[in-house]
A and B are shown apart, each in its own frame.
Chain A
Amino acid sequence: MSTNIDHIKEEHHHQPSGLMRWITTTNHKDIGSLYLWFSLLMFFIGGFMALIIRAELFQPGLQLVVPGFFNQMTTMHALIMIFGALMPAFVGLANWQLPMMIGAPDMALPRLNNWSFWILPFAFTMLLSTLFFESGGPAAGWTLYPPLSLQGGNSMPFVIFSLHLLGASSILGAINVIATILNMRAPGMTLMKMPIFVWTWLITAFLLIAAMPVLAGAITMLLTDRFYGTSFFTAAGGGDPVLFQHIFWFFGHPEVYILILPAFGIISTIIPAFSRKKLFGYDSMVYATASIALLSFIVWAHHMFTVGMPLAGEIFFMFTTMLIAVPTGVKVFNWVATMWRGSMTFETPMLFSLAFIILFTIGGFSGLMLAITPADFQYHDTYFVVAHFHYVLVPGAIFAVIAAVYYWLPKWTGKMYNETLGKVHFWMTTVFVNITFFPMHFVGLAGMPRRIPDYAVQFTDFNMIASIGAFGFGLSQLLFVYILFQTLRQPVTAADKSWEGAEGLEWTLPSPAPYHSFDTPPKVD
């Protein structure tokens, strides 16, 4: 251990400057910042695609884009937002926070850490470059279902290779997170004393390691089906397209928890800080997170109730899916109990966390509706599904990331953001997110299918409202960028413990956190 620390100190002296600093950095804070900036860039690229979709859907008929391009936009929007915006944002937060929270000097594998990040720009350049192909980008949906995805243009091998790279990056990052958490905690910090954000990331990392290789396998099979004459999914050769859906969702369902468990960790950190109380039911939070992770591997077929499964299968997957509501309910009630009789204040991170609890729960309820097999036949592949997963991912996962950025920004930069602007950002975001996604419930229940560029006239009003909301939401995020840059221009004024109720080792460090922290491990009682 001590040799490792000496090594890091030595490195400090001959650190390159300028661009090379960022390319060669092995510092967890630098890499965390790279991840976060990258994810913000991807958030705007993916958001721009969403606005193309919403602009086309503003009224029925085809106005702005041709259907083929529309399909490329829906596919790319999902891939960019999931793999480019959300996952790197959480990895960035993990990089910044995990070593500081467990009292470690850095991540366990700093060079690997550098590599995990620098794979991403290449992977996304390749993915985005397909949009400039003559045959266009991928248009078969982010789920890449065959036979459609096998019949696509030349983009397919590029998309698959970039997904392979993204998977490799995630797996390396996850190995690093687990190695760090299991081996580098400060003396005295037992597993059950770890901050809850560390716990949720530990479990998320295990999910990544178990799920991403399955995606790699599934898309490799697609690749060999198309180019090497295998018939895993090609019916002409005795394959079965439904098999792809099984393998894909065996990855895909754990993936949605990969996108939400770190968010749970963030909310479980922020709610106690602004309620000035300890997190209610810490142990049950840990067990609930672990239960959700385990259950996520036996619920995958609820994404495919309508493919023609036997009754026994439909019932099994319906009940296991509903079972997930139990640990998730435990979490929601624990958050509420944490706030109960707390001395609450409502700074921006807290506002985003409160909105998370309410809006994520709405997404959870629509998820329960979708879990009911007979009802799902009505909802399947409609805008109701779109409303559901956007409620859990936008005011769910993205709100948690924004809350985390506001919460830890003074620690990272030593500078306090403008609270008034933060609140304006919150209210605009929250109002517009609901204007965007709430009407989708109604058009979905009324039968509007997802992934279509044109629709029946009776859906016009709700679609117009949703499109207005989407543009409002997108513009509100420019304010977020403004707030970030305005904060960076401030002088250093933030206290070491920037929030009165904040708890954890990171707040014992100066603000901004020094480049190398915890060279000597702190003691945890």
Chain B
Amino acid sequence: MKSVKSTITKLSLVVVAMYGFSYALVPIYDTFCEITGLNGKTNEVAYTGSDIEKENRFIKIKFISNVANSAPLYFEPAVTEMVVQVGKPYNTHYVMKNNSTKQLHTTASPSVTPGKFAEYFKKIECFCFNQQTIDSGEVKDLGIQFVVDNDLPTNIGDIVLSYTMFDITNKVVEADKL
């Protein structure tokens, strides 16, 4: 029966390893998306490099917004379109208003379409790097500073930047209680 025991030991290790693998898929997926630029994920921390050079080409950036789960928020881009020069930093902002009667905590999640060009859209500053606290009735300007990388391929049309705003008040309040 020694061989049965060794079979069980080996198989149990496989079970544990596969359970671990399911969790390992999370960073693998993120890394895979980051390397390949899939999924429209943009940089999650501010771009601080200085190797982007100005080029004499222009590209149209469109801004759109969504509010998740019908949260009581007004959330729209200040300008919906900008024609920008590749390699030159630009500023713009979104406007958010709290339409509810209480203070809300929010966070925004960005996405670039087409996804494979997300890596060329560098955010130098973005409200999406932080969470927001907004009082009842308050109106806030949420700023972005960005630059389009001059490595951007030439055969592309417009780039769409989308933000989805989430109301995370419940989560923040619960976390404060702990």
Contacts and interface: CB of A to CB of B under 8 A. Distances in A.
A213 B14 CA distance: 9
A464 interface: no
Interface string B109-151: 1000001100000000000000000000000000000000000
Interface in A216-250: 216-218, 221, 229, 232, 235-238, 240, 242-243, 246-247, 250
Interface string B152-178: 000000000000101010010011000
Interface stretch (B2-10, B80-88, B91-99): B2-10
Contacts of B38: 309-310, 313
B36 A243 contact: no
Looking at A4, A209, A251, the one whose CB has the most chain B CB atoms below 10 A away is: A209
Q: How large is the interface on B (under 10, 10 to 19, 20 to 34, 35 or more residues)?
A: 20 to 34
A229 B174 contact: yes
Nearest to A175: B11
Given A171-B15, A214-B21, A236-B107, A243 B26 contact: yes
A229 B18 contact: no
Given A179-B7, A229-B175, A310-B116, A243 B15 contact: no
B22 interface: yes
A250 B12 CA distance: 20
B18 A209 contact: yes
Contacts of B164: 235
A184 B174 CA distance: 56
A251 B26 CA distance: 14
A109 B8 CA distance: 10
A214 B19 contact: yes
B23 to A, nearest CB: 6
A308 B115 CA distance: 9
B22 A247 contact: yes
B109 A182 contact: no
A238 B11 contact: no
B115 A250 contact: no
A183 interface: yes
Contacts of A119: none
A215 B36 CA distance: 26
B4 A179 contact: yes
Q: Interface SS of chain B: helix, strand, loop or mixed? A: helix
A2 to B, nearest CB: 11
A310 B7 CA distance: 41
B68 interface: yes
Given A109-B4, A213-B15, A240 B22 contact: no
A166 interface: no
Contacts of B44: 238
A196 to B, nearest CB: 22
A229 B171 contact: yes
Given A238-B44, A310-B115, A217 B22 contact: yes
Nearest to B116: A310
Contacts of B12: 175
Contacts of B35: none
Contacts, number: 97
A308 B118 CA distance: 14
Interface string B15-45: 1101101110110010000001011000010
Interface residues of A, number: 40
A251 B19 CA distance: 11
Nearest to B37: A310
A109 B9 CA distance: 13
A234 to B, nearest CB: 9
Contacts of A216: 19, 22
A3 to B, nearest CB: 8
A91 to B, nearest CB: 16
B7 A209 contact: no
Given A175-B8, A217-B23, A243 B18 contact: no
A240 B39 contact: yes
Contacts of A251: 22
A235 B18 contact: no
A171 B4 CA distance: 16
B98 to A, nearest CB: 17
Contact of B7 (A178, A229, A313): A178
A428 interface: no
Contact of B19 (A1, A213, A250): A213
A510 B53 CA distance: 86
A225 B136 CA distance: 28
A210 interface: yes
Interface string A334-354: 000000000000000000000
Interface string A401-445: 000000000000000000000000000000000000000000000
A211 B21 CA distance: 10
B109 A236 contact: yes
Contacts of B3: 182-183
A178 B15 CA distance: 13
Given A213-B15, A229-B174, A242 B7 contact: no
A236 B171 CA distance: 10
Given A109-B8, A171-B15, A240 B29 contact: yes
Contacts of A184: 4
A212 B11 CA distance: 13
B19 A210 contact: no
A179 B11 CA distance: 9
A108 interface: yes
Contact of A213 (B22, B29, B107, B166): B22
Looking at A221, A236, A240, A308, the one whose CB has the most chain B CB atoms below 10 A away is: A236
Nearest to B12: A175
A210 B22 contact: no
B111 to A, nearest CB: 9
B109 A310 contact: no
A109 B12 CA distance: 14
A242 to B, nearest CB: 7
Ranked nearest first, the 6 interchain pairs of A and B with the lowest CB-CB distance are: A217-B22, A236-B166, A213-B18, A213-B19, A214-B22, A179-B7
Given A236-B171, A246-B25, A308-B115, 14 more contacts: A175-B7, A175-B11, A179-B11, A213-B15, A213-B22, A214-B18, A214-B21, A217-B22, A235-B68, A235-B164, A236-B109, A243-B25, A246-B29, A310-B38
Interface of B: 1, 3-4, 7-8, 11-12, 14-16, 18-19, 21-23, 25-26, 29, 36, 38-39, 44, 68, 107, 109, 115-116, 164, 166, 168, 171, 174-175
